[in-house]
């Protein structure tokens, strides 16, 4: 959901630069502490933590 909000902000600016930077910092902190970086977890389905975080912090 966060990636969608940040992408929407690229088309119509409603987030402050400080808010975006704080969000990116928190995402980087989260992904650096993520222990399970598998894409598919048997019995549970798709996890994709790395892909979702990269979508959110991607710069156009």
Q: What is the pLDDT of residue 14?
A: 96
pLDDT over 80 at 60, yes or no: no
CA dist 40 and 47 (Å) reads 6
**Beta carbons within 8 Å of 20's beta carbon, 6+ residues apart:** 6, 9
How sure is the predictor about 59, in pLDDT bands with cuts at 50, 70 and 90?
A: low
CA dist 48 and 24 (Å) reads 18
Q: What is the pLDDT of residue 48?
A: 84
Tens-place pLDDT, residues 12-58: 999 999 999 999 899 989 989 988 888 888 998 888 888 888 888 77
Q: What is the pLDDT of residue 46?
A: 86
């Amino acid at each position: 959901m966060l990636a969608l909000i940040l992408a929407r902000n690229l088309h119509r600016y409603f987030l402050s630069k400080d808010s975006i930077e704080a969000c990116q910092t928190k995402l980087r902190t989260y992904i650096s502490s993520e222990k399970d970086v598998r894409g598919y977890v048997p019995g549970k389905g798709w996890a994709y933590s790395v892909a979702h975080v990269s979508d959110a912090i991607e710069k156009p």
